Structure formats: C-alpha cells, structure tokens
Amino acid sequence: MEKITCDICVIGAGSGGLSVAAGASQMGADVVLIEGHKMGGDCLNYGCVPSKSLLAAAKQAHAMGQGAGLGVAPVTPQVDYAAAKDHVASVIDTIAPVDSQERFEGFGVRVIRDWASFKDKRTVVAGEREITARRFVIATGSGPFVPPIDGIEDVPYFTNETIFDLRERPDHLLIIGGGPIGMEMAQAHARLGSKVTVIEGAKALGNDDRELAEVVIGQLQSEGVQIVEGQQAKRITGGDGSVTVETEGGSHTGSHLLVAVGRKVNLDRLNLDAAGVKHDRAVVVGDDLRSKTNKRVYVVGDAAGRMQFTHVAGYHAGIVVRSAVLGMSWAKARQDHIPWVTYTAPELAHVGLTEAQAREKFGGSLQVVRFNYDEIDRAVAEGKTKGFVKVLVAHGKPKGASIVGDQAGELIAMWAMAIANGQKMSAIANTVLPYPTLNEINKRVAGTYFSPKLFDSASVKTAVGLIQKYLP
C-alpha cells in the first residue's frame, strides 16, 4: 500500500472538485485529486454539455420549419438522429481536454483514478494508495435517482447517464419527470421527430414561477409534446420496443422510457461514518461548507445538499479555496443570488426570491414590475416575441427576477449581478445599452418601476412647472 500525504485531498473530478484542485494547486498547495469514473463529472459527460448539444441540433431542425413569417419557405428537416448524437459526442470531446487528467497534472495535481473511501478522520484509501491530508474536499456530485416504481427493474429504461448513447431515434419517448431535464429532453426529441409524452406526479417545472412555467408548457404542447400532470407512475410493464407506464389516470405506451425524476447524491462509496462525517441525503454542512462533525472535511456542489447546479459547485469551490487554502475562515456560501435556467425554447430563467417568497417577506413593500418581449424592437425584428420579464422590487432593490423568452439564460445575468451586489433598480435604469438588443428589456422593466414615480406624481409635475417658470 503506497502512502501519500498532502495538504488537500479532493474526492471527485466534476466542476467543483476540479475548480478546487486547480485553484489550490496553482496557489502552492500540495493537492491529490481522486476520481473513480470520468474526469469532468456529470456536467461534461451526462448533463449540461450533452443536453445543450442535443438541444442545439433540435433547435436547428425546428428552425427549418419556422421561416414563413420572415419570407423563407419552411421545409421539413431530414433528421439524422445518430449524426445528432455524433455532434453531442464531438462537443464533449472538444471540451474534455479542459477537464483532463493531463491538464491537471500539469498544474501539479496528483490525479488518482480510483474510488475513494475514508479509513478514518484523516485518511482515505483509493485502490492501493492511502492518502493522509490536512483537509479533504468531497465533490462527488450526484447521479440520477430511479424511484422504486413497481416493475421498473424488469423493463429497459434510460436516465441522463445513458440517453445520449442511444443511436436510433425513439418512435415514442415516455419521460417520467417534468423537471428541467425531462422538459429539455422532451422538446429536443419532439423537434428531432419523436412522439413524446411527459408524465409528472405534481406540476411540470414545479420549482419555477407558475406564470412563466405555463408559457414553456404551452410551447411544448404546441410542438406536440403530451404533458400529463398530477399523475404518479404506479407500474411499468413491457420490454424492448414497447413500454407501458400506468398511472392513476390511465396508461401510456411508448417505444422507449426515460426516467428523469431527480438526483441522488453520490455518497455510498465514501464510508463517511469512519470519518465521523454526519450525513443524510447529503453531507451536513454549515454556510462555511465544512462538515459539522469533522472540520477537516469540506463539501462542494450537490454533495453539500444545496442547489444542484454546475455553477453552484464552481461557486462553492471559490468559498472552499478561500477558507482551506488561504485561511479565510469567514468565507460563507449564500443562495439568494444563485440563478438557474431551463434551456427549453423559450428559455426559463430565475434568480433570487420567487413572487410568493417575496410577498411573504416584504408584504406591502413589494412591487412587481414586468415588461413583455413584444415591446422590444429586437424581439419583434427576429419574430421572437413570446415571453416577459418579471422583477420583484422592495426598498428600491430587486429581490428576485424571472424571465421566460428567447435567451432568458443570458438576460438573467444582469439581475444576478444586481442581487449579488445589492444594487438598486437605478443601477439598471442608468445603464446605457446598445440598440437594438434583447437586453433592453431589462432596462425597460427598470424604467417601468420608475415611471409612476416620475410621470404620475403630482409633486413632480408641480416641481417641473416651477422650474420651467423660473428657469433662465
């Protein structure tokens, strides 16, 4: 057994683990990085990158039939599903070197490709190596949760970890789960020529503002996606080429099944009890992202039991580097400024409080302002007028923002910055933006907030009258 000592041992080479390893090593810490599966983790191999790549192919196919309003005759796309999957693989291969073992070894990180398990509070075993470290960082991420539905073990099904390996287009894809993964894959496959049925036990896109979610749901339905809400999957039967999902309200039969009901944190292999690390569905941590029962252990990303997004793992990594490497023990993680996006078309983006949360917190001090895409010249010019921005304002500052529409994921950045830095609505209103751009919608919604104060105020009109009367 080879024995290794280091300053920081990172377990997991996904977004968070890689960021910690790179930052700590380049600052001079002795770092060991352990990964039992693929470098780059879920995001590169099974999540963000492949899903957005498949959505890009689907967007291109859909666009070929949508040009009539712009004077371009629509045509029926000839979709090569296998070639679309080749595009997905090509994108992964292009990005992979950024997350590769060779690159991180170039930073001075020792990379061990094996599964890690704690031996005690200061020691991890990975294969034939025993690593003792001053600090550990758990960055194991999460994998698809497969619920114990009757019959599911006897039928073939896909998860986000396997759907991108499918080479033949499904005739009829059944999707259990109407969250972001389920809805993105539903629209992608519908646009690539599959019939799609989404089965959701509660509400589709249930974590988002319902008013905005309904816009996305309506669009998917208009493209032929059947969305069944409020019906739990009770039983699954069938085999290759024919799978039936039975619910309280009836049964649905398709050629393929995708299970997309949520995520489960990857902790099973770690033997956390040996390390004295308290955990339940995730590791129990404070806002400093340290284990509450073993202060040598930090946790980032999904394993910390907070928002499950790649950008959150990267944000957590910055907190941990400041604390574990630079000794800034006061560094704390927050969640009120974290944005998220569902990459359907239209996109659905959010940051900060929801309207219900803001009303509960601020009561009568809350103002809700909105602006529609169809009043933005660039959106009109491109024929992408479906959608709107909703901003929740209290005491002159945005407390939450939601956007549904074209490029909502890009547009939410301005509100994420404002909320993260405690900026006032005036910071948005004072920003000069190029014309014509979609980003004008953010400035216009800020203008909507100030308009009543300026144009509907008797005192302002009186003051202007006096100024005009006596102005030399």
Q: How far is CA 432 from the centre of its chain?
A: 29
Q: How far apart are CA 437 and CA 410, in angstroms?
A: 12
180 is annotated as contributing to ligand binding: yes
Contacts of 423 (CB under 8 A, 6+ apart): 397, 398, 417
179 is annotated as contributing to ligand binding: yes
**Residue labelled with tokens 């560094």:** 331
Contacts of 342 (CB under 8 A, 6+ apart): 180, 183, 184, 205, 208, 216, 348, 349
Cα–Cα–Cα angle for 315, 316, 318, rounded to 5 degrees: 70
Q: How far apart are CA 244 and CA 256, in angstroms?
A: 9
153 is annotated as contributing to ligand binding: no
52 is annotated as contributing to ligand binding: yes
140 is annotated as contributing to ligand binding: yes
339 is annotated as contributing to ligand binding: no
Report residue 169 as tokens: 């287009």
382 is annotated as contributing to ligand binding: no
Q: How far apart are CA 471 and CA 71, in angstroms?
A: 53
436 is annotated as contributing to ligand binding: no
364 is annotated as contributing to ligand binding: no
In three-state secondary structure terms, 443 is: helix
Kind plus residue range of the DSSP H or E element containing 310: helix 310-320
Contacts of 420 (CB under 8 A, 6+ apart): 337
16 is annotated as contributing to ligand binding: no
Q: How far apart are CA 293 and CA 296, in angstroms?
A: 9
130 is annotated as contributing to ligand binding: no
Measured distance between the N- and C-terminal CA atoms of the chain, rounded to whole angstroms: 90
178 is annotated as contributing to ligand binding: yes
Q: Do strands 129-138 and 297-299 pair parallel, antiparallel, or not at all (unpaired)?
A: parallel
102 is annotated as contributing to ligand binding: no
- Residues belonging to the binding site for FAD are 52, 140-142, 302
- Residues belonging to the binding site are 52, 140-142, 177-184, 200, 262, 302
- Residues belonging to the binding site for NAD(+) are 177-184, 200, 262
